[in-house]
Structure 1
Amino acid sequence: MNIKSISVAILILLAAWAGYEKLLTDQPAQTPRNWLRVPALPVIQDAIVQMSPRFNEASKAPMMEQLCALARGEVKQEQVNAFLKQQGIDAQTVPRQGSPFSLLVNGDQPGQATACAAYLATSVLSAVNVAEFMRPVVAPAANGQPEKSSLQIDNALLTSALSIKLALARANADVFALIAVELQHKPGLTLTQYREQAGQLFARLAPTYLQRIKEQLPPANTQYTLLQMDDSRFLFRSSVGSVFEFGRNGLVLRQGGILWYGKGRLMGQEYPLQVEYFPAAVKPLLASAVSPLTTLIP
């Protein structure tokens, strides 16, 4: 090979390398190797479940009814104090912080709204308590047999319960999606940091969430069809195009055939977060040992 041929080969190689460098600089920065894409929904759910007040099961429903009434401004403190007295609790002895009952007596309205919103958002993510829409029926004694009591579906209670569950599921989808979009603007956080951010955002949006429940209540003339109700699955559909299911996959809501909530999706979208899922120490373990220049030279 003469000098001219060698010069041409070098020029071609340099031109190729310059083009490769330009290709690298024109492309957006690569995502760090220790980051993974994680759906936002389970991250947000985990954060809000942790925010729900901790009462024992026997007193949880009545206590939260009072707390939510305080958050909405529907009762006065004197009424709540009287309720607590009926439960054997002296409001004057309840500490203003640190007790499950503190929010019932300390006048912290933002805290009350956050606790109420977290409780309601979490309630629709739990197994359905069929006692909500059942009433006891007593069969009179006959033919020497003692009277028998059983539970029977009350249609009015059922309609009310299903309407509320649908409103809660829709409000969850709306507000959780809003939080998910905000979290996407902060790539590279750890899962713990994303949960903290989700909790802080939900606390700020608690009044919005409570209002959203009212706005998402189906029309009064909505019809409901209960499709399945057993230990493994609770399923119903509505005349407004909703299908509500709670089972092994948790809450799944479909609206107009679109997956509106559940299976990692919100309002039909997954909203992935760029999570620093592994420590930075794993990056050199994944890096290629081959230099880009070696791929250009035979």
Structure 2
Amino acid sequence: MNMKSIFVAILIALVALAGYDRFLADRATDTPRIWLRIPALPVIQDAVFQLAPRFDEPRKTLMMEQLCALARGEVKQEQVDAFLKQQGIDAQTLPRQGSPLSLLVNADQPGQASACAAYLATSVLSTVNVAEFMHPVTVPAANGQPEQSSLQIDNALLTSALSVKLAVARANADIFALIAAELQRSPGLTIPQYRERAGQLFARLAPTYLQRIKEQLPPANTQYKLLQMDDNRFVFSSSVGSVFEFGRNGLVLSQGGIVWYGKGRLMGQEYPLPVEFFSAAVKDLLTSPTSQQPTSIQ
């Protein structure tokens, strides 16, 4: 290719780019006035919370362990039935639909995967249960003081729990970002419509999400440092450059100083959604002549 041909090719490319920029500018100008741009993250979070099963709190962890084991194919139905019997529940009498326990007996693998994924995803979006990595310690009676019991951090349990929390938070960022990018392909939906769409996408991606958690587990030699643990904040850092913080503003995961999850961001990006935020009637109010504006009350 001679220099003249190269120059012509470059000129055509520049003209095409200029035309595309003009197209984007025109689209921005044509955006309906009743649309507002909001971050996708809170919409997706709400959708996933709605998918999470509602078990009674005293047995919630045990039930979810069984459900997730079913979803991953780690146990058979006979084993789950035996577990339920130990809990005083007859598997044969449970309804196949309409109860949180239904997923433990109805062989609905997509539903089991969706429920397990939603449970795990929301586990890092809720207050941390410190009992996960603590064990009871009894202090013998001495010097006139009665025997006392307390909880003490178990380092092995702590390392395991923090490793899982980090993997789940990373998987959240990965899958939520994928969903956010997909939602952006459908501009102009209402928030309920975006929420419904996000829930559908998460349910379909549930098996991918569960696999993603395994892939995001930090190396076995990763070191963790517990920075704060009280009623207001739970914060830890890792030797792989992650900082996990849960507090009044929810979960914030930083990776290499970049907000990877939280504060409206996923992988450092906001993924704004063009939402139809108001009814069409509001548009007329925005375009009314100034002469028709109501007079102020004296």
TM-score bracket, shorter-length normalisation? 0.7 to 0.9
Specify the alignment match of 1:106 in structure 2: 106
Secondary structure of the structure 2 residue equivalent to 1:243: strand
Output the CA distance in 2 between the equivalents of 1:119 and 1:42: 17
Q: 1:56 offset after TM fit, Å?
A: 1.1
Task: Give the share of equivalent positions with the same residue, in percent.
Answer: 81
Specify the alignment match of 2:220 in structure 1: 220
Specify the alignment match of 2:257 in structure 1: 257
| Length, aligned pairs only | 267
Output the CA distance in 2 between the equivalents of 1:103 and 1:131: 27
Specify the alignment match of 2:11 in structure 1: none
**Alignment RMSD (CA, Å):** 1.4
Q: 1:274 offset after TM fit, Å?
A: 0.4
Letter in 2 for 1:79: Q
Q: 1:288 offset after TM fit, Å?
A: 5.7
Q: 1:207 offset after TM fit, Å?
A: 0.2
Output the CA distance in 1 between the equivalents of 2:277 and 2:133: 43
Secondary structure of the structure 2 residue equivalent to 1:254: strand
Output the CA distance in 2 between the equivalents of 1:27 and 1:225: 51
Specify the alignment match of 1:118 in structure 2: 118
Specify the alignment match of 1:7 in structure 2: none
- Map residues 92-171 of structure 1 onto 2, 5 A cutoff: 92-171=92-171
What TM-score comes out, normalization by structure 2 length?
0.88
Specify the alignment match of 2:235 in structure 1: 235
Specify the alignment match of 2:34 in structure 1: 34
What TM-score comes out, normalization by structure 1 length?
0.88
Q: Which stretch of the first structure deviates more once superposed, 121-130 or 27-36? A: 27-36
Q: 1:244 offset after TM fit, Å?
A: 0.3
Secondary structure of the structure 1 residue equivalent to 2:260: strand
- Map residues 1-298 of structure 1 onto 2, 5 A cutoff: 27-28=26-27, 30-287=30-287, 289=289
Q: 1:143 offset after TM fit, Å?
A: 2.6
Q: 1:27 offset after TM fit, Å?
A: 2.8
Letter in 2 for 1:238: S
1:156-176 CA-to-partner distances (Å, cap 9, x unmatched) read 000000000000000000000
Unaligned residue ranges in structure 1 (runs of 5+): 1-22, 291-298
Unaligned residue ranges in structure 2 (runs of 5+): 1-21, 291-298
Secondary structure of the structure 2 residue equivalent to 1:226: strand
Runs of 4+ in 1 over 4 A off after TM superposition: none
Q: 1:248 offset after TM fit, Å?
A: 1.1
